[in-house]
Structure 1
Amino acid sequence: MAEVDDLTLLRRHQDGDRDAFGELFRRHRDRMWAVALRTARDPEVAADAVQDAFLNAFRRAGSFRGDSQVTTWLHRITVNACLDRLRRQRPTANLDDHDPVEPRDGHHAVEVRLDVRQALDQLPEGQRLALVLVDMHGMSVAEAAQVLEVAEGTVKSRCSRGREAMARLLRHREDEP
Structure 2
Amino acid sequence: MVADELDDATLVARARDGDVRAYEELVRRHQDRMFRLALRMLGNRGDAEDVVQEVFLTVWRRLAQLQQDAAFLGWLYRTTTNRCLNVLRSRKPSAEVDWEEIAAPGNQAGPERSAQVSEQLAVLNRALRELTPEQRACWLLREVHGRSYEEIGAAVGASPTAVRGRIARARAQLAEVMRPWQ
TM-score normalised by length of structure 1: 0.89
Q: Does 1:108 align with 2:116?
A: yes
Between the aligned partners of 2:13 and 2:171, the Cα distance in structure 1 is: 39
**Counterpart position of 2:148:** 140
Which one of 155, 165, 172 corresponds to residue 173 of structure 2?
Answer: 165
Contact 1:103–1:109 at 8 Å: present in 2 too? no
Change over 3 Å in CA distance of 1:146–1:60 after alignment to 2: same
Give yes or no for the alignment of 1:118 onto 2:99: no
Which deviates further from its counterpart, 14-23 or 98-107? 98-107
Amino acid across the alignment from 2:136: R
1:139 deviates by 1.1
Alpha carbon RMSD of aligned pairs, Å?
1.9
Name the aligned partner's letter for residue 57 of structure 1. V
Separation (CA, whole Å) in 2 of partners of 1:103 and 1:143: 33
Q: CA deviation at 1:34?
A: 0.6
Identical pairs, percent: 32
Deviates more, 1:96-105 or 1:110-119: 96-105
Give the TM-score taking structure 2 as reference length.
0.87
Shift of 1:84: 2.5
Secondary structure of the corresponding residue to residue 120 of structure 1: helix
Equivalence for 2:90: 88
How many matched pairs?
173
Unaligned 5+ residue runs, structure 1?
none
Post-superposition offset of 1:68:
6.2
User: 1:18 maps to which residue?
Assistant: 20
Q: For the Cα contact (< 8 Å) 1:53–1:81, is it kept in 2?
A: yes
In structure 2, runs of 5+ residues without a counterpart are none
Equivalent residues of 2:16, 2:63 under 8 A apart: yes
Range that drifts further, 124-133 or 48-57: 124-133
CA displacement 1:61-117 (0-9 Å, x = unmatched): 011112862111111111122222333343333223345752534111101100100
Post-superposition CA distance 1:113-168 (Å, at most 9, x none) = 00100111111111111111101111111111111121100110101111011112
Matched residue type, 1:44:
G
The worse-fitting range, judged by mean Cα deviation, of 115-124 and 58-67 is: 58-67
- The one-letter code matched in structure 1 to 2:88 is L
| Deviation digits for residues 26-81 of structure 1 (CA, Å, limit 9, x no counterpart) | 10011011111111111111010000000001101011112862111111111122
- Correspondence for 1:48: 50
Partner Cα distance (2:70, 2:172) in 1 = 30
- Residue of structure 2 in register with 1:75 after alignment: 77
